[in-house]
Amino acid sequence: MRRLSYLEASRVAVAEEMERDPLVWAVGEDLGRGGVFGQYKGLAEQFGPDRISDAPISESCIVGAAVGAAMMGTRPIVEMRFSDFALCAVDELVNQAAKARYMFGGQTRVPIVVREPIGMWRSSAAQHSQSLEAWYAHIPGLVVAVPSTPADNRALLKAAIRCDDPVVFMEHKGLWPLEGEVPEGDDVAPFGKARLVREGGDLTIVSWSAAVHTAEQAAGELAGLGIETDLLDLRTLWPWDRDAVLASVEKTGRLLVVHEAVAVAGFGAEIAATVAESCHAALKAPVRRLGAPRVPISYAPPLENEVRVTAEAVVAAARDMTGQ
């Protein structure tokens, strides 16, 4: 094991996969200077400008070129800087990359990884702070990964690079400095397999990305009140670990979904509906969701904090659901 930050773990994953496979390369804005957050620092010197490729400020051009390169047999890693900016390339990703393998009857594939940093980060305001993972989970043909730890950031990114389908890889900007133990060796995480963060029998909490850490803090506080939680980190939203969630709710009889994204039509609604349809006989309380209100994210920190899902809110919802 080694101790790395979430950011460093992603850089290690890219370097390891580029060393393993000469067809892996990266393209995006600012890569020559190490990326806007430093997640590519040193890679241009190590692999050269042909494989760490700086691109003009045109997201549609970047993704479109990468889709074509992927269809010709390479494995591009596309850096979008912010998930908000990737909306300029939705046609290339949603209408082209996601559908090509199906529409051509399997004669082609699009092994592309589109890295889209998500979430609130240091007063980045409404155009740089969104969590849009539910948009992509809705699109057939796309894999959606949402790592919450340094270990998963490395292991899931390696899996994404090796995947033959397009992967939208959504790293939370607020997690870049988070440190944790990262396994040595060729650790590659499976898609669609949740991580059991904490085990308990009173309540199931399902979360992903940075909200996992909020939920984990809340779970610790709840334990002090005598409420023990099963806390599941989904790790990927498509595929998602339906079996693990349903098994946990069958045991606890209660489900609370926690995510940073806007609650309206968020992926938590998919989980809630699935559990309501499949576990209705086991439920001891209505399914609950905690997400952001449907408002733009403000620049001002006090207003930004108003839309955050806090550990206090998770504790309050859990206490209400368990009658304590």
What is the average pLDDT score of the chain? 96
> How confident is the model over 18-22, as a mean pLDDT?
98
Query: What is the C-alpha separation between 305 and 321, in angstroms, rounded?
Result: 24
CATH 3.40.50.970 positions along the chain are 2-182
The Cα–Cα gap between 212 and 105 comes to 38
| pLDDT, tens digit, 9 for 90 and up, residues 216-238 | 999 999 999 999 999 999 999 99
What's the confidence (pLDDT) of residue 135?
97
Unique residue bearing structure tokens 């001002």: 300
- Across the range 120-138, mean pLDDT stands at 93
pLDDT at 324 over 90: no
Residue 109: pLDDT band (50, 70, 90) is very high
Catalytic residue among 128, 172, 213, 259: 128
Q: Give the model's pLDDT for residue 62.
A: 97
The pLDDT value recorded for residue 123 is: 86
> pLDDT exceeding 70 applies to what percent of the chain?
100
- Was domain 2-182 assigned CATH 3.90.940.20? no
Segment 182-208 shows an average pLDDT of 96
**Residues 198-214: tens digit of each pLDDT:** 999 999 999 999 999 99
128 tagged catalytic: yes
Who's near 125: CB < 8 A, 6+ residues apart? 297, 298, 299
Question: What one-letter code names the amino acid at 56?
Answer: P
User: Residue 121: its pLDDT value, please?
Assistant: 87
Domain with CATH 3.40.50.920 in the chain: 195-322
Alpha-carbon distance values, 42 to 14, 52, 76, 103 (Å): 11, 10, 18, 39
Give percent of the chain with pLDDT exceeding 90.
95
> Each residue of 135-161: pLDDT tens digit?
999 999 999 999 999 999 999 999 999
- Residue 122 is predicted with a pLDDT of 85
Cα→Cα distances 106→20, 21, 109, 306, Å: 26, 23, 7, 47
C-alpha span between 13 and 23 (Å, rounded): 15
Q: Report the top-level CATH class of 195-322.
A: alpha beta
